[in-house]
Structure formats: C-alpha cells, structure tokens
Homo-oligomer: A and B are copies of this chain.
Amino acid sequence: MRSTTVWDGGGTRLRMCEVGTRDGLQMESQFVPTEDKIALVNALSHTGLAKIEVTSFTSPTAIPALRDAEIVMCEIDRVPGVVYTALVPNMRGAERAIDARTDELNLVMSVSETHNIANLRMTREQSFASLSQVIALAQQARVPVNVSLSCVFGCPMEGDVAEEQVFAFVQRFADLGVQGITLCDTTGMAFPSQVARITSHAIKGWPTLEFTLHFHNTRGMGLSNVLAAIDAGARQFDASLGGLGGCPYAPGASGNVCSEEIVHALQCMGYDTGVDLDALIAAAGRLPALIGHDVPSQIVKAGKRLDTHPAPADFDAIRERALARASQRAA
C-alpha cells in the first residue's frame, strides 16, 4: 500500500537489482579472478537483493573482464527467490546463457539511432531484428526476457530522444512477449520531472510488463530520479555495488547509482527493500581489494547516518573549562 507522500515509504516493497558484477566489473581494467567473482555473487545472493546481473555473455575478446561468464554462472550458489540474470547481445550469447542455466536473458539496444550505431555497430532496426530472434530462442527454451533500452532519458550525442520513439520500442517488445523492460538512463541525463512523466506513462500504458528503472548519478540526480520513479509507480531498480561503473563521456564523474547509497536512503525513508544493508556495505567494502582502487560509494566512506563517532578525547576537560569560565564571570 502506498503512503500519502513519496517521502514516507510506509513499508512499500521495492525490488533491488544488482548490476555491479556486470555493468561495474566490465569496465575494470584489472581482471577479477573467477573465484572472487563467484564469492562476490554468493555474498550478494544472501543480502536480500531481488535480482543479480551476474555477467555478460559477450565475446571474450570484446569484454575480456567477463571472459569467464560460463564458469561464473554455472558455479555460483543459486539462492531461491533471487533471479540470476545476464546480459546477452546476440544469438551466440543467448545459447551460452541458456546452457549456463541463466534465469533471465537481459537484452540491450538503444532508443537513440546514433548511440546504437556507435555502441552496438548496428542500426536500431538491425538490433531489433536480431533481438527478435533471441527472444524467439528464449521463448522456445522457456527463459524469461528483459530488454534494457539505453538512452531513454537522453543520448550523449543526439541530446533528448523523442518519447514517442521510446514508447514505440516498448510496444514492439511488448508485442514480442517479453516479460520486462528496463528504462535506462545510460549517461546520467535523466531529471526527476522527466522520470516521473516517462515512468508513469510506461506503467499505465503497459500494466503487465515489469518495468525496472536504471539510473546513473553522473550529474548528482540519481536518488532523486529513483524517488520520482517510485512516486510514478516504479517498484524495481538497478544499482551497482560501491557505485562501480563509470561513464565514458564524463571521466571522473559517478556512474551507476550506488546500491548501498540507494538502499540506505530508501530504508531511512521507510521503504522495504528487503536488503540487509550491513551485509551490502560489507560486500562493497571488499571491492577495493578486488579491483585495485577505491569505490565512489559515499556510504563506504561515511557510514550509515546513525554510525556515531566518539566525542573528542579531551571532551570532559573542554566542558569543565567552559563551565569554569561561566562561574568566574558570574562571581
């Protein structure tokens, strides 16, 4: 049941999807050993996350960081209730993912023609045709499909993307019978008014589709966009452990919204994410050792809001002196 305002969660249940193991690790220059990836996914599996994007069944030469996709997907523990998804770019990837018993195939294309060509080296129509074949294969294998639409809230090369184009692709994939659509703010161009409008339209227009919202914090609007989407009816969100994953167009700026920051804020506000925040923070705290550098996470640096600090060592002496000054003046 929804509370009266978005500021008070009132126990509203939200589903959190972890993308750090795919969207985050694929950008790391240091190869994370396969056994460490498996241990990380296993740790995340027990935190109460609804879904984990474990890896990507892309060509090992294209993304060497995730060249161990099969082993990781086959060897992780499967915790009941957690959906283990993976990115799949094409038929070959779909066959590999299905062979590895992936729970859901996450397909991707961009609603921006320029971004799709630059990134996927195909026109949007070519991508759609290729993904249509993958969807048919998944349906034969009875594996659910989610489609992640990139650049829904803007393209870094084209600028704003017409909302009719976004919804036209939502309709075409709905017609193919996919289970879910992720509306992706690929480079952090989304802002709350737009998020509220697009999310509301999507949820009202396609009530049987499961919508996920995927935001980047590139311009500091990540959490506010999550809240605007919640207010518009969204209940499922992507986020990345430690805030892993950057944006090639904004070196040094934040990438994906950070899982523990989002969960921390939503829990403060009374939303039920189902996530064990301490376990999530502990997992994020182990990332720097795996990837060889600090993570953007503010919660890893600052702790939870009620993680208190000791008073200064000389606190009692300071107070005594203050009170002594006062009584001197009074005398």
Residues of A within 8 A of B (CB): 5, 7-9, 114, 117-118, 121-123, 126, 154-160, 188-189, 191-196, 217-224, 227-228, 231, 247, 249-254, 258, 261, 264-265, 268-270, 294, 298-299, 301-306, 308-312, 315, 318-319, 321-323, 325-326
Contact = CB atoms under 8 A, between A and B. Distances in A.
Given A7-B196, A298-B218, A160 B306 contact: yes
Given A123-B322, A159-B308, A251-B301, 8 more contacts: A121-B318, A123-B323, A191-B305, A219-B298, A220-B223, A224-B227, A247-B302, A250-B298
A265 B322 contact: no
A183 to B, nearest CB: 16
A302 B253 contact: yes
This protein's copies in its complex? 2
B154 A305 contact: yes
A123 B319 contact: yes
A194 B268 CA distance: 9
A298 B191 contact: no
Contacts of A228: 7
Given A222-B220, A224-B224, A7 B192 contact: yes
Given A7-B192, A220-B265, A121 B322 contact: yes
Contacts of A304: 219
Contact of A7 (B193, B222, B250, B309): B193
A322 B323 CA distance: 79
18 contacts: A5-B196, A5-B231, A7-B196, A118-B318, A121-B318, A123-B323, A123-B326, A126-B326, A189-B305, A193-B268, A219-B305, A220-B223, A223-B223, A224-B265, A227-B227, A250-B301, A250-B302, A251-B301
B221 A265 contact: yes
Q: Which 10 interchain pairs have the tightest Cβ spacing?
A: A250-B302, A191-B268, A220-B261, A253-B301, A253-B302, A7-B196, A189-B305, A7-B192, A7-B193, A220-B298
A286 B140 CA distance: 59
A185 to B, nearest CB: 10
Contacts of A159: 306, 308
A156 B191 contact: no
A251 B302 CA distance: 7
A249 B309 contact: yes
Contacts of A325: 126
A302 B121 contact: no
B298 A118 contact: no
Q: Which of A298, A302, A312, A326 gathers most chain B CB within 10 Å?
A: A302
